[in-house]
Structure 1
Amino acid sequence: MIRKTMIAIALGTMTLSAAACNTVQGAGEDISSVGRAGEEAID
């Protein structure tokens, strides 16, 4: 019983970590996009 619980917790943690990683990557891309648009507007 404890082993199944630990496996479920580990799988849940890995799933949430993967989702968080994608969110951070997307935010980084958004910030880069804003920076590029700002540079184009200044030029």
Structure 2
Amino acid sequence: MSRRSSFVLAALAGALMLSACANTVRGVGRDVGNTVDATGSAVRDVAH
């Protein structure tokens, strides 16, 4: 395998890993938002 092919393969693997991290961070943000909404709803239900 040539040096250039190794570099291209490593760059593609790195891009794939970074895109997976972005999706994970976005998913965590959604989960936290849903938790906040559910907690607020539960507090309102208990208060009334």
TM bracket, shorter-chain basis? over 0.9
Query: What residue ranges of structure 2 are gaps of 5+ in the alignment?
Result: none
TM-score, L = length of structure 1: 0.96
Seq. identity, %:
28
Q: What RMSD, in angstroms, separates the aligned Cα atoms of the two structures?
A: 0.4
Alpha-carbon displacement from aligned partner over 1:3-41 (angstroms, at most 9, x marks no partner): 000000000000000011001100110000000000001
Matched residue pairs, number? Answer: 43
Pairing 1:4-43 to 2, within 5 Å after superposition: 4-43=5-44
TM-score, L = length of structure 2: 0.86
